[in-house]
Amino acid sequence: MGRIERPLTVPRRPWEVGLVAFEIARRHRFHEEMSALPAGVTVHVLPSGGDPRPPDLSQLRYRDRTKVRVRIEQAYLASASYLAKLAGG
């Protein structure tokens, strides 16, 4: 899912309106899918370990690979920590 743990803020610039609208649509779809799961199914949304700042134009820089390794490591550590707590360790 990604970015779901980032808070949404009131847009202040014209392009931020589009970013926030896109995030609202993504989150609505996510919650819609989660509410349609069969009874008895447990879902764990793993943390991304990413930056908790609100969405900005940097999320659109899909060609910038300079931080990929760092983001993978952050997601791995955050997910491992979450799963360790879930397992009681």
Per-residue pLDDT, averaged over 3-21, amounts to 85
pLDDT (tens digit per residue) in 53-88: 666 666 666 677 888 898 899 999 999 999 999 988
The Cα 8–Cα 19 span in angstroms is 10
The answer to pTM > 0.85 is: no
The Cα 47–Cα 52 span in angstroms is 11
Q: Would you list the domain boundaries of the chain?
A: 14-86
pLDDT of residue 89: 60
b/e for 35-72, b at 16 or more Cβ within 10 A? eeeeeeeeeeeeebbbeeebbeeeeeeeeeeeeeeeee
